[in-house]
Chains A and B, each alone.
Chain A
Amino acid sequence: MYESLVEAVARAESDNISLGELALRLEAEEGVKTRPQIEAALGRALSVMREAVARGSVGDLKSVSGLVGGDAAKLKHPKGPLAGSVFTEVLAAALAVQEVNAAMGVIVAAPTAGGAGVLPAVLLGIGEAKKLGDDVLIRGLAAAGLVGAVVAVRASLSGAEGGCQAETGAAAAMAAAAGIEILDGTPRQSAFAVSLTMQGTLGLICDPLGGLVEVPCVYRNATGAAMALAGIEMALAGIEFPIPSDEVIDTMGEIGRGMDIRYRETAGGGLAATPTGRKLAKDRLVQLKGKKA
């Protein structure tokens, strides 16, 4: 069932349940963990996500290199026309989690650490705005998990294999499904939200400065979360994407397999290979060696 989102949607529809509920049932059917154990594990993930958002929002963290940290707190006082909206809260939360991650703090990989800001930002941002209970948010995590599992099987969740589209792109698709789940959308809308979100992240390369999960990763979590909000909003409005979700996911995998090695986490291309990117990486790596000795 985890091999096809199209099939998962069909089963959820025929059983008249949500995608998140289906995911929880399928996981319990595996027999490794009971339903209460699964919900408890997801509940723990939820609380670690909340703690990470809170920790990163303080603004005092610096990454190991000193390149990132403190930007989430700036968005706590947004100055633009969208100030005070769910949108700015979501962006701030995505930055906050990634700043914690870059400082070797505790986060929930969802699906990876490099993309760990997207799902909590969207889930908790919407959850707080709509005052949703933890039971609802746990179903949201389950729906996201199901989508991530399909992406893992059909494509990839590794930047080294498939570029950033396989990390923040996959995370955004997962967050889109979570958003539809907690906003009481249908399983079909979840699949459309996945497609509408992922079509926007296709081809995204993984080009971190010095190969480290800092720049642009921290910011790409915020833009990934924005992409998920776009997918959620469009799908809830009844917009249908003509390419089925499985095929969009397959496309991501195919693009990843064809992606030049420079664009797959090696720091050989993209922003990492710009003159400034190279200089910053060189300066910081020297600094790390100095620290270690």
Chain B
Amino acid sequence: MVSLLDIIGPVMVGPSSSHTAGACRIGLFARGLIGGQPDSALVELHGSFARTGVGHGTDRAIAGGLLGMAPDDERLRSSLESAEQMGLKVTFTNAKLRGDHHPNTTRITVGRAGQTAKLIGSSLGAGRILITEIDGFRVEISGTYPTLIFVAKDEPGIVAAVSSALAAGGDNIATMRVSRRGKGGDAIHIYELDDPPTESALARIRSLPAARMVRAIGKVA
């Protein structure tokens, strides 16, 4: 559902809600996906992001998001300089992503303490975003809810185990989606929650034998 506050907002640093605010939010999501400030990031700009990104501050906005700055943070203007000071090595390149993507799309590969994660995100207009791919899995995440991402071996009962851990923590699920690469392979679970998941629920989910990756990402929009 489209909220009034999506339309009258965000309060943001200009000049473009899709090229600046939306781009910042995709950066923030990538930061959440790697679990904190990345030490490296490869940002591939696709479509209109590639053609007009620099003049719109798309590069500054994504770098700012990776550093944890929100779309209304005036420090976005100097985020590339901040990145250097804060130990984030960020590289921008233009790319033609394969498949059908929104005109304003980026693929971000982030690294932190030896781990890497990759996402594809699109900026849909008015600052709204959609994360469409995480580590090769197709997803649909708006970033308007606290999001729990769980990658696990695809086996019976795994959804019940996660949802009962969330229920035990008192965490309410707003939406959920499970998709997998193939039968018996890995599956990705996306839970959009009303509030950030409790530590106890996260601990229970992390301890599941099938778990490969658990990540709680705060609202970015």
A: residues with CB less than 8 A from B are 2, 23-24, 27, 30, 32-33, 38, 41-42, 44-45, 48, 63-65, 100-114, 116, 119, 141-142, 144-146, 148-149, 152-153, 156-161, 166, 174, 210-214, 264-267, 284-285, 288-289, 292
Is B51 part of the contact surface with A, judged by Cβ < 8 Å? yes
Please give, as numbers and ranges, the residues of chain A lying within 8 Å of B5 by CB-CB distance: 27, 33, 38, 41-42, 145
Chain B residue with minimal CB distance to A261? B103
Please give, as numbers and ranges, the residues of chain A lying within 8 Å of B4 by CB-CB distance: 23-24, 27, 38, 42, 142, 145-146, 149
B: residues with CB less than 8 A from A are 1-21, 47-48, 51-52, 54-57, 72, 74, 76-77, 80, 102-104, 124-127
Chain A residue with minimal CB distance to B12? A109
Please give, as numbers and ranges, the residues of chain A lying within 8 Å of B20 by CB-CB distance: 104, 113
Please give, as numbers and ranges, the residues of chain A lying within 8 Å of B77 by CB-CB distance: 104
Chain B residue with minimal CB distance to A166? B125
Query: Is B55 in contact with A44, judged by CB distance below 8 angstroms?
Result: no
Query: Is B2 in contact with A104, judged by CB distance below 8 angstroms?
Result: no
Please give, as numbers and ranges, the residues of chain A lying within 8 Å of B74 by CB-CB distance: 105-106
Query: Is B52 in contact with A110, judged by CB distance below 8 angstroms?
Result: no
Which of B4, B76, B77, B103 has the largest number of chain A CB atoms within 10 A? B4
Which of B12, B51, B57, B127 has the largest number of chain A CB atoms within 10 A? B12
Query: Is B7 in contact with A30, judged by CB distance below 8 angstroms?
Result: no
Count A-B contacts at CB 8 Å: 171
Chain B residue with minimal CB distance to A48? B11
Query: Is A157 in contact with B48, judged by CB distance below 8 angstroms?
Result: no
Provide the bound-state CA to CA distance between A66 and B185, in Å.
54
Provide the bound-state CA to CA distance between A267 and B56, in Å.
13
Query: Is B48 in contact with A211, judged by CB distance below 8 angstroms?
Result: yes
Which of A102, A108, A156 has the largest number of chain B CB atoms within 10 A? A108
Provide the bound-state CA to CA distance between A226 and B21, in Å.
27
Given contacts A102-B14, A212-B15, 13 further A-B pairs with CB under 8 A are A2-B1, A110-B8, A112-B16, A112-B18, A113-B20, A142-B4, A149-B6, A158-B126, A211-B51, A211-B56, A212-B55, A264-B103, A266-B48
Known: A103-B14, A265-B52. A161 touches B9 (CB 8 A): no
Known: A109-B127, A213-B15. A288 touches B54 (CB 8 A): yes
Nearest 7 A/B pairs, CB to CB: A211-B52, A158-B125, A101-B14, A148-B7, A145-B4, A109-B17, A213-B15
Chain B proximity of A278: nearest CB distance (Å): 14
Main secondary structure of the interface of B (DSSP, over half): mixed
Q: List 24 A-B contacts (CB under 8 A).
A: A2-B1, A41-B5, A44-B11, A101-B14, A103-B14, A106-B12, A109-B17, A110-B7, A110-B9, A111-B7, A111-B126, A112-B127, A114-B15, A119-B8, A142-B4, A149-B2, A152-B7, A152-B125, A158-B125, A212-B52, A212-B55, A213-B14, A265-B48, A266-B48
Chain B residue with minimal CB distance to A33? B5
Query: Is A114 in contact with B8, judged by CB distance below 8 angstroms?
Result: no
Please give, as numbers and ranges, the residues of chain B lying within 8 Å of A114 by CB-CB distance: 15-17
Chain A residue with minimal CB distance to B51? A211
Contact of A65 among B18, B55, B72, B104 (CB under 8 A): B55
Chain A residue with minimal CB distance to B2? A149
Known: A107-B12, A109-B12, A113-B14. A161 touches B125 (CB 8 A): yes
Which of B1, B11, B14 has the largest number of chain A CB atoms within 10 A? B14
Contact of A106 among B18, B72, B104 (CB under 8 A): B72
Please give, as numbers and ranges, the residues of chain A lying within 8 Å of B52 by CB-CB distance: 210-212, 265, 267
Please give, as numbers and ranges, the residues of chain B lying within 8 Å of A110 by CB-CB distance: 7-9
Query: Is A113 in contact with B16, judged by CB distance below 8 angstroms?
Result: yes
Query: Is B11 in contact with A106, judged by CB distance below 8 angstroms?
Result: yes
Please give, as numbers and ranges, the residues of chain A lying within 8 Å of B72 by CB-CB distance: 106
Provide the bound-state CA to CA distance between A266 and B103, in Å.
10
Contact of B55 among A105, A144, A145, A211 (CB under 8 A): A211
Query: Is B125 in contact with A2, judged by CB distance below 8 angstroms?
Result: no
Please give, as numbers and ranges, the residues of chain B lying within 8 Å of A265 by CB-CB distance: 48, 52, 103
Provide the bound-state CA to CA distance between A285 and B47, in Å.
17
Known: A112-B17, A160-B103. A104 touches B57 (CB 8 A): yes
Please give, as numbers and ranges, the residues of chain A lying within 8 Å of B80 by CB-CB distance: 292
Query: Is A160 in contact with B125, judged by CB distance below 8 angstroms?
Result: yes
Please give, as numbers and ranges, the residues of chain A lying within 8 Å of B2 by CB-CB distance: 2, 149, 152-153
Chain A proximity of B1: nearest CB distance (Å): 7
Chain B proximity of A41: nearest CB distance (Å): 5
Provide the bound-state CA to CA distance between A45 and B11, in Å.
7
Provide the bound-state CA to CA distance between A107 and B3, in Å.
19
